[in-house]
A and B are shown apart, each in its own frame.
Chain A
C-alpha cells in the first residue's frame, strides 16, 4: 500500500465526481426527488375515502350514526337514494365503499348482535379495502357504545376492542417510509453509482491505462471505496436532516447508532457495487445488474414498502440476503422506537456478514488483467 498512489487515485475520483453532473444527479438530485415524492406524495393511509351512504328508512338513529361518519377525517360520504345508484357510482370509481342501512336498522341496532349494517368495499386495492373495513367497524363500535351509554343499557357486544397503537400513534405512514427511504438512497449511491463509474472506466479505456502502472489492486479498490463512502454518508446526512426537520419524523434513537449502522450498510452496498463492476464491464450491463440485484430488492424485499412477514415463506427466506432488509429494520427501530439493542444487534450482525461477503468477493475477484 502506497499513500501517494491511493491519494492520487482518490483525488482523481473527487475531481470526476465534482465535475461530472451525472454522478451528482444520481447521488443528490435523485434522492431529493425520492424524498419529496415519498414525503409529500405517497401515503399508505386512507384519508377522505369517498363512501356512498344508502339509507332505506331515515330515522334519528340513522342520522346519529351517519353524523359520526360525516365528522370522521377518514371519510368523505355522499348520499345515494338507493343501492342500485350507489353500485353504479362504485362501478365508475366515484366511491370506494357503500354503506347500506336497511329499513330495520333502527329496530335491530339496539336489540341483538346481528350486524344490521351492510358494507360493500372495492377490493381492488386490498390494503385500502382493509383499512376502510377497519375504520367503519371502529366507528360502528364507537357509536354503539355511545348509544348504549345514552340509553343506560349494557352493550350487547361481548368484547370491546381497546386499541392502542405504539411507536406511530398517529399512524402516519410517512414516519416509517422516510427512514426506509434512507436505505434506498444509500443503495443508489453505494451500489448503482459505484458499479456505473467503474464500468465507465472500462468503457472509456481509462482502466487499461491504470492497470499497466505499478498500482496494486487494493489501492485501486480503496481509491474508489473511500470517495464514494464519503459521498454516501453525505447523502445519508442530507436525507436524515430532511426527515427530521422537513417531515418531522421523530428520531428517538441516538445519532451515533444511526450513523454507525448506516456506515456498515454503506460498506456492504459499496461491496455489492464493486462486485458487480468486477463482472460487468459495460455501463449498460452494470446498470441492469445493479438495479435488479440491489435497487429493486431494496425497494420491494426490504420491508420498506411491504411487510416481510406477510410474504410467502420462500420469499421471506430470500430476503435474508438482501442487505437493505437489515438496514431498514434497524433504521425504523432507531427512528421510531429508539436504541433498541435487541432489534438492532441481530440486524447489525446480518449486515456485517453480508458486508464481509461482498467486500471479500470484490477483493478476491478483482484482477489487474483484462482476461
Chain B
C-alpha cells in the first residue's frame, strides 16, 4: 500500500452561485520513498490538494490516508510525521535563523540532546551556518526559502509536502534547494510530493501528476508521459535569422502545436509524427532535425487538446523596425534603503518598440529599478530619463505616456470588468467617443467580452492579467512597464501573454518587463541580468549566452548563463577585495 492513498477526493469552496470546485473526484497513490511532481495550470487545485494532505483542510467527500492515518480525523498524529512547506513559508522575520529552528524543534518536541547534531546537519546542508544569528527578515529570498525547508525537515519527516518551494528563487538557490530535497529522498528515504511550475524539475521526479481544473488529466512516470510525444519534436537551427522572426513564421504553419525559442534555434512540437512543412525559403536553409520530446511538450499538447479553443495566440508576422531613439535611459543608478544598496550602478538604455527585460531572482533590485523609472521612488543618485523626462521631477504630462502593470495587478476587485475599464479610462482623461472606442478595443483585442459583467476579484488569473493589461493600455501609452506579469502563471498562459506583448511591441509600444523566469529571456529583444542590485550582463539573449559558451557547454541556456556569470562575478569581486 502506498504512503499516500487518495480515493475519490472532492473539495469545493464557497456556497451557492459562487461555489467553486477545487478538486473533483481525485484518486491516486504514492509509493514510499518516491518523488512525485504535481503540475498544472493556476487554479488547478495543487495547493488545495497539498493542504488537504497536510490535514489543514477538510475534504467534502472521499478518503485520504497518509502513512496509514485517515484524514482529517488523525491529523494531529500525522502532523508529527510529515513536513509541509506552504507557498509562502512563514518564517518569523524578527527571529534569528537559530531561533526559528529552535521554535520548530520545540513544536516537534525534539529532545535537547538530539538538537545540536540535527541543527548542525541542517545548517551545513543549507549553507546557512554562518548566518545562525542573523534575523530571518534580513536573509535573501533564496536563503529564506532554504531556512523554510530546514524548519520543515527538523524532525525529520517521513513525508515531505512542498508547495512551489523554488518559485521566484535565483537559479543557484534553486539548484541548492533541489539537491537538499534529493538528498532527503536518497539518504532518509523520505517520500516527497511537490508542486512546481518548472517542467525540468518535474522531469527529474519518479512520478508526475498533471492536474487541470480539479481533475487528474494524466499521471505516470515522466517517460510514460513523454512517450506518446516522441517523434513530435523538432529543432530548427537557424543562425542567419533572428529566432523570433523565425518563430512567428513557423507558428503559422499547419499542425504546429507549440514553438519555443531555445538557444539559437527554434523548438517545434507537431500534432503528428512528421516534420513541420517548411516553406521553400526556410527549407533551403536546412532541415528541421528531430529531437527527443520533453515533459513540457506533453504538458502543452495535453492542455491544448483539452481546450482546443484555448489555443495560443500567434506571434505577429513581422517586427516593426526598431527606432534608434532611446526612450528610456538609465545611467549609474543607485538606490539605498538605509545602508543597504538595493540598486548599485545600474545603466542601460531602451529603444522605441523594443521588448526590454530585467531578469533576476527575488531581491535582485528589478522592482526597485522599475519604481524609480515610473517616478514612484526617488533615486539615491544617477540619472534616469523616460520619454525624455525624469518622471519624478518632470511634468505630469510625461506620465500620461507610460502604462504600468504592477505585480498584484491593482484592479478593483468589487468592480466588474467593464467598470474597471471605464474607471481607468476616466482616470486617464478619456471622454465620450474616445473612451467608448478604447473600451471596445480592449474587450475585443484582449478577448474580455465573455467576462464583461464579472467582478475582477472572481476572474481566473489569466483573465485578471489581461484586464490589468487592458487598463494600463487605455490611454495608448508609448511605454509599458510590466512588473513580474508571469509570476505564478502556467506555461500556456505565459506563452499567450508573451504573444500579446510581442504584438504591442510590433505596434511601436516600448515594453519593459521584469521576470524571474530565466527562460523568458528568449522573448526579449535585449535584457539586463541582475543579481543583488548589480548588473551581471547586458545585451541580446544570444550575446549573453555566447559569453558563457565553451567546450563543456556548447549550447548554454539562460539559466546556465546566469549561474556562470554570477560565479564569475563572485570570483572577480573576491579578487578585488
* Neighbour of A7 across the interface among B89, B92, B106, CB < 8 A: B106
Asked whether A208 and B109 contact (CB < 8 A) given A201-B90, A214-B79, the answer is: no
Q: Are B54 and A212 in contact (CB under 8 A)?
A: yes
Q: Are B13 and A371 in contact (CB under 8 A)?
A: yes
CB neighbours (8 Å) of B13 from chain A are: 371
Is B56's CB within 8 Å of the partner chain A?
yes
Min CB gap A120→B, angstroms: 54
Q: Are A8 and B103 in contact (CB under 8 A)?
A: yes
When chains A and B are docked, how far (Å) is the Cα of A5 from the Cα of B93?
20
CB neighbours (8 Å) of A207 from chain B are: 90
Q: Are B56 and A209 in contact (CB under 8 A)?
A: no
When chains A and B are docked, how far (Å) is the Cα of A370 from the Cα of B90?
15
When chains A and B are docked, how far (Å) is the Cα of A214 from the Cα of B58?
17
* Neighbour of B90 across the interface among A208, A214, A215, A371, CB < 8 A: A208
When chains A and B are docked, how far (Å) is the Cα of A207 from the Cα of B105?
16
Is B225's CB within 8 Å of the partner chain A?
no
Binds A, one of B94-102, B245-253, B495-503: B94-102
When chains A and B are docked, how far (Å) is the Cα of A16 from the Cα of B135?
11
Is B491's CB within 8 Å of the partner chain A?
no
When chains A and B are docked, how far (Å) is the Cα of A215 from the Cα of B56?
12
- A194-219 interface bits toward B, Cβ cutoff 8 Å, 1 = contact, 0 = none: 00000001001111111111111000
When chains A and B are docked, how far (Å) is the Cα of A2 from the Cα of B106?
10
**Which residues 209-238 of A have a CB within 8 angstroms of B?**
209-216
CB neighbours (8 Å) of A212 from chain B are: 54-56, 79, 82-84
With most chain B CB atoms within 10 A of its CB, the pick from A5, A206, A210 is A206
Q: Are A205 and B94 in contact (CB under 8 A)?
A: no
Q: Are A8 and B102 in contact (CB under 8 A)?
A: yes
CB neighbours (8 Å) of A107 from chain B are: none
When chains A and B are docked, how far (Å) is the Cα of A369 from the Cα of B56?
4
- A291-323 interface bits toward B, Cβ cutoff 8 Å, 1 = contact, 0 = none: 000000000000000000000000000000000
When chains A and B are docked, how far (Å) is the Cα of A207 from the Cα of B86?
10
Is B417's CB within 8 Å of the partner chain A?
no
Find the B residue at minimum CB distance from A8: B106
Is A280's CB within 8 Å of the partner chain B?
no
**Which residues 68-115 of B have a CB within 8 angstroms of A?**
72, 75-77, 79-80, 82-84, 86-95, 99, 102-109
Asked whether A205 and B88 contact (CB < 8 A) given A8-B106, A12-B99, A213-B79, the answer is: yes
When chains A and B are docked, how far (Å) is the Cα of A243 from the Cα of B60?
57
Min CB gap B104→A, angstroms: 7
When chains A and B are docked, how far (Å) is the Cα of A4 from the Cα of B102?
11
Q: Are B80 and A214 in contact (CB under 8 A)?
A: yes
Asked whether A19 and B94 contact (CB < 8 A) given A208-B56, A371-B58, the answer is: yes
When chains A and B are docked, how far (Å) is the Cα of A212 from the Cα of B80?
8
Min CB gap A205→B, angstroms: 3
Q: Are A9 and B106 in contact (CB under 8 A)?
A: yes
* Neighbour of B94 across the interface among A4, A7, A16, A368, CB < 8 A: A16
Count how many chain B residues have C-beta atoms less than 8 Å from C-beta atoms of the other chain.
38
Is A162's CB within 8 Å of the partner chain B?
no
Find the A residue at minimum CB distance from B100: A12
Is B4's CB within 8 Å of the partner chain A?
no
Is B57's CB within 8 Å of the partner chain A?
yes
When chains A and B are docked, how far (Å) is the Cα of A204 from the Cα of B93?
10
Q: Are A20 and B82 in contact (CB under 8 A)?
A: no
Asked whether A209 and B90 contact (CB < 8 A) given A2-B109, A4-B106, A370-B51, the answer is: yes
Q: Are B86 and A12 in contact (CB under 8 A)?
A: no
When chains A and B are docked, how far (Å) is the Cα of A8 from the Cα of B89?
19
* Neighbour of A214 across the interface among B92, B99, B107, B135, CB < 8 A: B107
Min CB gap B286→A, angstroms: 51
Find the B residue at minimum CB distance from A204: B90
Is B151's CB within 8 Å of the partner chain A?
yes
Q: Are B94 and A208 in contact (CB under 8 A)?
A: no
Q: Are B56 and A8 in contact (CB under 8 A)?
A: no
Q: Are B86 and A205 in contact (CB under 8 A)?
A: yes
- A331-371 interface bits toward B, Cβ cutoff 8 Å, 1 = contact, 0 = none: 00000000000000000000000000000000000001111
CB neighbours (8 Å) of B93 from chain A are: 204
Q: Are A5 and B89 in contact (CB under 8 A)?
A: no
CB neighbours (8 Å) of A40 from chain B are: none
Find the A residue at minimum CB distance from B137: A19
When chains A and B are docked, how far (Å) is the Cα of A11 from the Cα of B106?
10
When chains A and B are docked, how far (Å) is the Cα of A212 from the Cα of B71?
13
* Neighbour of B76 across the interface among A9, A201, A214, CB < 8 A: A214
CB neighbours (8 Å) of A205 from chain B are: 86-90
CB neighbours (8 Å) of A210 from chain B are: 107
When chains A and B are docked, how far (Å) is the Cα of A282 from the Cα of B88?
16
When chains A and B are docked, how far (Å) is the Cα of A196 from the Cα of B89?
20
Find the B residue at minimum CB distance from A10: B106
CB neighbours (8 Å) of A369 from chain B are: 55-58, 72
Q: Would you mind naming 9 contact pairs between A and B with Cβ atoms under 8 Å apart? A: A9-B103, A15-B99, A16-B92, A205-B88, A205-B90, A209-B151, A214-B80, A214-B107, A368-B76
Q: A11-B103, A370-B57 are in contact. List 17 more A-B contacts (CB 8 A).
A: A11-B106, A12-B92, A15-B92, A15-B95, A16-B95, A201-B90, A205-B88, A206-B92, A209-B86, A209-B90, A209-B148, A212-B54, A212-B83, A213-B107, A214-B77, A371-B57, A371-B58
Chain B residues in the interface with A (C-beta under 8 A):
13, 51, 54-58, 72, 75-77, 79-80, 82-84, 86-95, 99, 102-109, 135, 148, 151
Chain A residues in the interface with B (C-beta under 8 A):
2, 4-5, 7-9, 11-12, 15-16, 19-20, 201, 204-216, 368-371
The 5 closest A-B pairs by CB, nearest first: A8-B106, A206-B90, A205-B90, A214-B80, A213-B107
